[in-house]
Structure 1
Amino acid sequence: MPAGTYIVESQATGEVDPRERTDFWSEHVGSYQTPMDFRYADPGTFRGEMTRQGTDTYQLVDWRCDRIEYVRTPRLVRQEPDHDYRFLLPLRGELVLRQDDQEARLTPGMGSLMTLGAPFQLLHDASLRGFIFSIPAREIDGPLNRKSPLATGLDLTTGLGRVVNSMLQSLSAERNNLTTTEFDAVSDRIVELLCMLAVGDDRPDASGHLLEVEAMVRRHVREHAADPGLTGTSMARALGWSLRQIQLALQRVGTTPRDLIREERLRLVRDRLRCHDCEHMTITDLAHASGFSSASALSTAFKQRYGVSPREMRHGAR
C-alpha cells in the first residue's frame, strides 16, 4: 500500500460464486500475508470473512473461516523470502501452530509470535475467529536480539499479557476512528510490550527489579526524546539509578541507552512527518525539535531505520 496511508477493508466469500470461494480466499490471504499453500477441508462449502486494517508498517486482520490448513513450505521460504513476523491470537476456537519442531495449541487467552522466515503449518477448526497482527522484522529482531522467537503460547489473561490482549482488541474495535499516525503509534506500543512479554517468558530468572528499571527507562525516553541532552548518564541521574543498572536492564532485551534514544527520536520524527500540524516544519526544524544534531544526522539514521528519507516519507504521506 502507498506509504503513509491507513486502510480498512473487508472481504467475504459470500460476495463471490461458491465455485470460486477457495480461489478468492487464497488470493486475498496470500496478498495480505505471505505466499502459502492452502489446504481446505471442504472446498465445496468453504466460507470465510476478514477485516483488514493497517498501514505500510503494521497490519491487523480479524478473520473467521471454515476449517483450513495454511502451510509455508521450505520451497516457498526459499523462493519467496519473507522475514517479517506475525502475532497470532484466537478469539474463539483453537489454532495449532507447528514451527521449528515445536507445536503451540492456542485457545482464547493465548498468543504466539511466529516468523515467516521459517516453514510452518497453521491449522484451525471451523469455529475459529482470531487476530493476525503483522510486524516488520526490524521491530522484532532488534529488541529481541534474535531471529526466530519461539512459537510457544504466551499467556494473555493476566498482567502484561492481558494489557496486550486488550490493546489489540481495542485497536480492532476502533478501526474506523483511527488515523495513520494513531494506528502506528498504538501498534508501536503493542510491539514494545510484546517484546517485553516474550523476553520475560523466555527468562524465568529475570530480575523483577531490572524489569521495572527497563519499563521506567522506556517511559523516560519517550517523554524526553526531544531533549538533545538526553543520554544514559542523564537518565540515570534523573531516575535515581546507576548507569550500570540501566545498561543491564536494556541489555536483557537486546538494546542500549543510545539505541533506545535514537529509536524513540526516529519514531517521533516519523509521527511528525505524517502530522498535518507539522507540515510547516523543515527537515532541519524536525531534526532539532526531535533531539538530532543536524538534518544530515537525522536523514542518515532515518533512512537506515525506515528505508526512505524523511522527505520521501513526508511526500508519500500526502
Structure 2
Amino acid sequence: MLCEAVFRTEDLPGADRFDFWREQVGRTHAPLDLRSEYAADYRAHQRVLALGAVHMWPTTHQSLTYRRTPRLIRQSDPESFHIGIPLKGTNRSAFDDQKEVYGAHYIQLFDSSRPVEVTCSNGAEPFQGIGIEVPKALLHLPHDSMDRMFGQAVCGSDGIGALLVQFVTRLAADTSSYQPCDGPRLGTVLVDLLSALFEHTLDADRVLPPETRTRTLVHRIRAHVQRNLHDPQLTPVSIAAAHHISTSYLHRLFQGEDETVAAWIRRQRLERACRDLADPAMCATPIHSIAARWGFPRAADFTRAFRGAYGLPPKDFRRQALRAATVN
C-alpha cells in the first residue's frame, strides 16, 4: 500500500474540529484563511497520498471558503501548484478581479504565490474532490504560460483531461495493490499527465485566429473594468498589469474604438453616478458618497467631470431629475 495519512474531524470534539481542519489544510497545501457556515461542528475527511515530491489528497468536507491572501503568501510560500478537481459539487473562484464557477470533473490550477479565494460547495451535501500538490519546478512549462493557466479550468470529461481524472480517481479508490516504492513512479506519471494537459491547452489557445484572441482579450478587459469602476486606482496601467500585457498594447487594442481607455472608464463611471443621482431611492445619499462609489474620491474632480459631461453640476442635475420623477 502507498504511504498514506488519514485525517477526520469526527475524531475530535465539535468545538475543535474547524481549527484542526484549518491547520491540516495549511500543512497539506499552504496557510489559508478558512470560513464555513458549518464551522461550529465541522465535518471533514482527508487522505494524503505521498507520491514522491507530489501529494494527492482525496477529500470530503462540508461547504468551505478558503482565501490565499498576500499576507499569508509573505508568511509562507511552498512554491507549488495546486490542482483542484471537484467530483461532487462546485468550485467558485475569485482571482485577479475575475470570477469563475466550475463543476464536477473540471481541472483547475492555482499558484501558491498568487492570491485567490475559492468556495467549495455542494449545497447541504458534502463536497467531494481531489487536490494535487506539485512543486513548480517539476512542471517544465514557461512561467508566463502557467500564469495564463492560473484559475482557469480544463474539462476532465474527454481527451487528456479525462485520462487525468480517470488516473487520480482510480488511484484514490484503491491503493492496496501498490507498494510504497511505487509512490514516486506514480508521481512521475501524474506530473507527465498534468504537463501534457497544460501543454495541450496552451497549444490549442495559440492556434486560435488572432482576431478571436484579440476579441476575447478585449471582452475580458471590458468585464474587468465594469467590475472595478469603484476603484480609484483603476487606470490603464493597472488594467494592463492585471491582464499581463503592456500599456501600449492595451491602447492599441482600443485604437478602433470611439474613445481611449481612460475616456471610456470615465464615461462608464459618470453614467453610473448619473443613474444614482436620478434614483429617488438614493435621494438621501450624499453626492460625495455617490461620487466615491464610482471611483471619484475627490468631490471637486467629480463635479468638474460631471459638469463637463452633462452641462450642469451634480447637485442641479439631481434636483431636476428628482423633480421630473415626482411629476411623472
Which category of TM-score, normalised to the shorter sequence, fits these structures? 0.5 to 0.7
The separation in 1 between residues aligned to 2:138 and 2:164, in whole angstroms, is 16
Q: SS of the counterpart of 1:204?
A: helix
The separation in 1 between residues aligned to 2:130 and 2:74, in whole angstroms, is 27
Match of 1:290 in 2: none
Task: Report matched runs for 1:301-316 at 5 Å.
Answer: none
The separation in 2 between residues aligned to 1:97 and 1:183, in whole angstroms, is 31
Q: Which amino acid aligns with 1:30?
A: G
Q: Is the contact between residue 100 and residue 118 of structure 1 (CA under 8 Å) also seen in structure 2?
A: no
Match of 1:9 in 2: 5
Task: Report matched runs for 1:71-220 at 5 Å.
Answer: 71-126=67-122, 127-140=126-139, 142-146=140-144, 148=147, 149-204=149-204
Q: SS of the counterpart of 2:6?
A: strand
Q: TM-score, normalised by structure 1?
A: 0.59
The separation in 2 between residues aligned to 1:39 and 1:177, in whole angstroms, is 37
Following TM superposition, by how much is the alpha carbon of 1:178 offset from its aligned partner in structure 2, in angstroms?
A: 2.2
Give a deviation string over 1:160-194, Cα, whole Å, max 9, x none. Answer: 11111111112212323323442222221222222
* Of 4, 14, 22, the match for 2:18: 22
Q: Which amino acid aligns with 2:174?
A: E
The separation in 2 between residues aligned to 1:103 and 1:201, in whole angstroms, is 20
Structure 1 residues 205, 107: CA separation in 2 closer, same or farther (over 3 Å shift)?
closer
Q: Which amino acid aligns with 2:175?
A: R
The separation in 1 between residues aligned to 2:100 and 2:190, in whole angstroms, is 21
Structure 1: state its 5+ residue gaps.
Answer: 208-318
Q: Which amino acid aligns with 1:153?
A: A
Number of aligned positions between the proteins: 202
Q: SS of the counterpart of 2:31?
A: coil
The separation in 1 between residues aligned to 2:34 and 2:22, in whole angstroms, is 7
Q: Which amino acid aligns with 1:193?
A: L
Tell me the percent identity.
Answer: 19
Structure 1 residues 43, 150: CA separation in 2 closer, same or farther (over 3 Å shift)?
closer
The separation in 1 between residues aligned to 2:86 and 2:205, in whole angstroms, is 29
Q: Which amino acid aligns with 2:137?
A: R
Structure 2: state its 5+ residue gaps.
Answer: 208-328
The higher radius of gyration belongs to 2
Give a deviation string over 1:83-126, Cα, whole Å, max 9, x none. Answer: 10111101101112223333332211211121111111111124
Root-mean-square deviation (CA, aligned residues, Å) is 2.1
Q: TM-score, normalised by structure 2?
A: 0.57
The separation in 1 between residues aligned to 2:106 and 2:2, in whole angstroms, is 28
Q: Which amino acid aligns with 1:76?
A: L
The separation in 1 between residues aligned to 2:143 and 2:20, in whole angstroms, is 38
Structure 1 residues 98, 176: CA separation in 2 closer, same or farther (over 3 Å shift)?
farther
